Amino acid sequence: MALARWITRHDNPLTWRSIVNRVWLYHFGHGICDSPNDFGRGGAVPSHPELLDWLAVEFRDNGQSIKQLHRLICNSAVYQQTSQPDIAVAKMAHKIDGDNRLLWRNNRRRLTAEEIRDAVLSAAGRLDPEMGGPGFQDFVIEQPQHSPHYEYDKYDPNAPETHRRAVYRFIVRSQPQPFMNTLDCADPSMSVPRRDETLTALQALAMLNNRFMVAMAERFAERLTAESDSLESQVAEGFYLVTGRRAEKEELSVLVEYGNAHGLANACRMLLNLNEFVFVD
């Protein structure tokens, strides 16, 4: 109790700075202080120390609501910037601040493994949004009597009980889920202050060929088929669901041509692999 009171003392700046810095890191990919686990002398120097202190005081003195902190950051002008600013501005800014530490644009980021999985389920119309309750297992346990084997390739991706949000996924520390691991899911056996973000050919192959992705592309096609009889309107609606915008004429033409040649389910696999679906610009 004494430790808890010391940590949350009104005049202890470390707690409030650390919390707001982690929330900032979550939204921007980099914290105001780029060493979220180290605010000491060996840590990084904050890029915007006055902003860090202002956010810390705002959070501490106004109810300490994480939700309100998210709202404050997401309604800011800096968060609402695009990652692709005017070319002339970009050329000049790159010379001054190539790492974007001064936040003259947004940082383009890929969705996390959990976000990608949940977004795929949502597009396919299969995401179970129910909150609370028991978790789910996306594996089959073999030889549980002595040395259990967690067989991820033997579970049924169409099983409704596995369509809950990834936050309810049962995690095996000794044996990561291969699909999630490929998409840089954090190592569950250690503390990870910031996710790694890599771009590999294996990720593209997994997004195209993993059993979960193939099954959800088929469910996505079923959803679109139930809503329209025309392939063009089905593809147009699918494009809107994964990107949030209407397809341009040339984009729609290419996708319809592909759907005619390879079927709607394969066209849905292509839609789920678009950069606009996987990346936040």
pTM over 0.85: yes
Q: What is the pLDDT of residue 94?
A: 87
The full length of the chain comes to 281
Cα angle: 9, vertex 11, 15; to 5 degrees: 65
Contact 9, 16 (CB under 8 A): no
CA–CA gap between residue 240 and residue 229 (Å, rounded): 17
Count how many Cα atoms sit within 13 Å of the Cα of residue 24 in the half-sphere of its side chain: 27
Between CA 81 and CA 47 the distance in angstroms is 18
Ranges of beta strands (E only) in 99-172 are 109-110, 140-142, 149-151
- What is the pLDDT at residue 246? 95
Q: What is the pLDDT of residue 85?
A: 82
Contact predicate 183/206, CB 8 Å: yes
Chunked mean pLDDT (size 10), the chain, 281 residues: 94 93 92 90 91 96 95 95 85 88 88 95 96 92 81 93 95 90 88 85 94 97 94 96 95 96 96 94 81
Tokens representing residue 154 in the block: 């033997």
Alpha helix positions (H), 62-133? 66-74, 87-96, 113-123
Instruction: Give me the pLDDT at residue 84, please.
Output: 85
Joined tokens for residue 237: 């609606």
